[in-house]
Chains A and B, each alone.
Chain A
């Protein structure tokens, strides 16, 4: 049954049918990793417009190189492309990050921090995270915001799990210094 479908494609349009199938498969990849790559670039740069633009470039490069890619390694390859694109951009001196944040629920941890005015509280934490060294910041945000396991982060970034452990730990030690809680 599947075979007929394929040969119809092939017979009908020659290389056009092939292109459509390729594009559908590519779209699946895009659907799966677009946000991850955009977020990754945002964690690095703190600039959403730049992150979105570079994400598009990254997928375009992936499309152009599609003939030469090992399917098992696409995910980490995308991260590599994105990282290289970012390095090509002018080095940013200061990273200022802003996040959409849900209102703090009333059942969350009750510490004095939460009694501060919401705007004030959020800015301080955002500042603290923006000031983290990039390596630690990226791993930390991938873990907290995208809920990726250490194993998954290690795979995507080409690191060992131990390296991820260290970066997470450092990030939190540094965060604690930058954002002291009573």
Chain B
């Protein structure tokens, strides 16, 4: 599976930041060793002596000095006289100004940073995106078949993302951070939590900090709950249930490829397997039964066998489609 990759490429799958790994890929011993070595440095910070604000203040002074004396740019720049430089800048400024007039929030200037207004991050079926970074340093990991989006322009004044599917969030302290789903909104200050929003279900688990969940009810009403570490809420349609995790967990199992269920509809479990491996699964028996147990996403066969074994079900594969029937 990975045998055609060079050692650098294998390493880049884990450290490169851009590559999506299939859930069943495990690093070989050599790569694993190097990755662990690399990670030793992850929390280090450059020992700055000056703050950014202070640095700006100094720079700004020098810039103002330069403008006040209207000095010709030094010999580093192309040879142009002051009379030529100013009209040049004006022309550029006017050009960007016309773009700004079309409605960008950024101040009209000689330089408009061309960033997309809405940033969309999607994970395909069979893919997990880990540690996606948001502009404020908050991190989100997306489980398979999920989508996250946010507005880059309004981000600094309003930390809000829109989520379909499932994401685990680690939020930096700061202004309130909001996750909007089609079932309701989750609002937090610095904290870590998991949001599962698919079909009719909204499940939120709080791991650290405090999480507020506002579940949409019929007729525009809202039910608002506050979660502390270890607490979760499960909302289905209009029904809302609250509970507490049995053991102290630091994060959701899916990040480690582990999926646990307590009396969950079998269809939901099959849907998750389907997304994890990007295969079509047809549940043709016991659709209303519930599953309690755990599967891991290392291989499709193991996952199906684990679940089906305990439910008295058999797996038939036909042309890439998996049919689940009674034994």
What is the CB-to-nearest-CB distance from B82 to chain A, in angstroms, rounded to a whole number?
12
Given that A3-B101, A6-B100 are known contacts, is A56 also in contact with B58, CB under 8 Å in the complex? yes
Q: From B87-95, B116-124, B162-170, B201-209, give the one contacting chain A.
A: B87-95
B106 contacts the other chain (CB 8 A): yes
What is the CB-to-nearest-CB distance from A9 to chain B, in angstroms, rounded to a whole number?
8
User: Do the beta carbons of A145 and B45 come within 8 Å of each other?
Assistant: yes
A109 contacts the other chain (CB 8 A): yes
User: Do the beta carbons of B111 and A60 come within 8 Å of each other?
Assistant: no
**Which of A5-26 touch B at CB < 8 Å?**
5-6, 9, 15, 18-19, 21-26
Instruction: List the A residue with the shortest CB-CB distance to B40.
Output: A125
Given that A22-B110, A31-B52, A145-B41 are known contacts, is A39 also in contact with B17, CB under 8 Å in the complex? no
Q: Which residue from A22, A52, A150 sits with its C-beta under 8 Å from B55?
A: A52
A74 contacts the other chain (CB 8 A): yes
User: Do the beta carbons of B89 and A67 come within 8 Å of each other?
Assistant: yes
Q: How large is the interface on A (under 10, 10 to 19, 20 to 34, 35 or more residues)?
A: 35 or more
User: Do the beta carbons of A56 and B101 come within 8 Å of each other?
Assistant: no
B263 contacts the other chain (CB 8 A): no
In the complex, what distance in Å separates the CA atom of A179 from the CA atom of B60? 43
Q: Which residue from A144, A168, A176 sits with its C-beta under 8 Å from B8?
A: A168
Interface of A is mostly: helix
| 1/0 contact string of B96-136 vs chain A (CB within 8 Å) | 01001111101111111110000000000000000101000
**B residues near A150, Cβ cutoff 8 Å:** 12, 15-18
In the complex, what distance in Å separates the CA atom of A155 from the CA atom of B193? 33
A166 contacts the other chain (CB 8 A): yes
**Which of A31-47 touch B at CB < 8 Å?**
31-32, 34-35, 38-39, 42
B220 contacts the other chain (CB 8 A): no
User: Do the beta carbons of B88 and A144 come within 8 Å of each other?
Assistant: no
User: Do the beta carbons of B76 and A68 come within 8 Å of each other?
Assistant: no
**B residues near A78, Cβ cutoff 8 Å:** none
Given that A48-B46, A48-B49, A100-B44 are known contacts, is A165 also in contact with B109, CB under 8 Å in the complex? no
**B residues near A51, Cβ cutoff 8 Å:** 46
User: Do the beta carbons of B50 and A52 come within 8 Å of each other?
Assistant: yes
Most B-side CB within 10 Å, residue of A3, A29, A148: A3
| 1/0 contact string of B29-67 vs chain A (CB within 8 Å) | 000011011111111111111101001101110110011
| 1/0 contact string of A84-99 vs chain B (CB within 8 Å) | 0000000000000011
User: Do the beta carbons of A172 and B111 come within 8 Å of each other?
Assistant: no
**A residues near B39, Cβ cutoff 8 Å:** 109, 144
User: Do the beta carbons of A169 and B114 come within 8 Å of each other?
Assistant: no
B174 contacts the other chain (CB 8 A): no
**B residues near A72, Cβ cutoff 8 Å:** 114
**B residues near A100, Cβ cutoff 8 Å:** 44-47
Given that A71-B114, A99-B44, A125-B41 are known contacts, is A18 also in contact with B133, CB under 8 Å in the complex? no
Most A-side CB within 10 Å, residue of B12, B46, B48: B46
User: Do the beta carbons of A28 and B113 come within 8 Å of each other?
Assistant: yes
Instruction: State the A residues within 8 Å of B (CB).
Output: 2-3, 5-6, 9, 15, 18-19, 21-32, 34-35, 38-39, 42, 48-49, 51-52, 55-56, 59-61, 63-69, 71-72, 74, 98-102, 107, 109, 125, 129, 140-141, 143-145, 147-152, 162, 165-166, 168-169, 172-173, 175-176, 179, 181
Given A2-B108, A67-B89, A144-B44: 15 more A-B contacts, CB < 8 Å: A2-B101, A6-B108, A21-B109, A24-B107, A24-B109, A38-B55, A56-B58, A56-B59, A63-B66, A67-B92, A67-B110, A100-B44, A101-B43, A151-B16, A172-B38
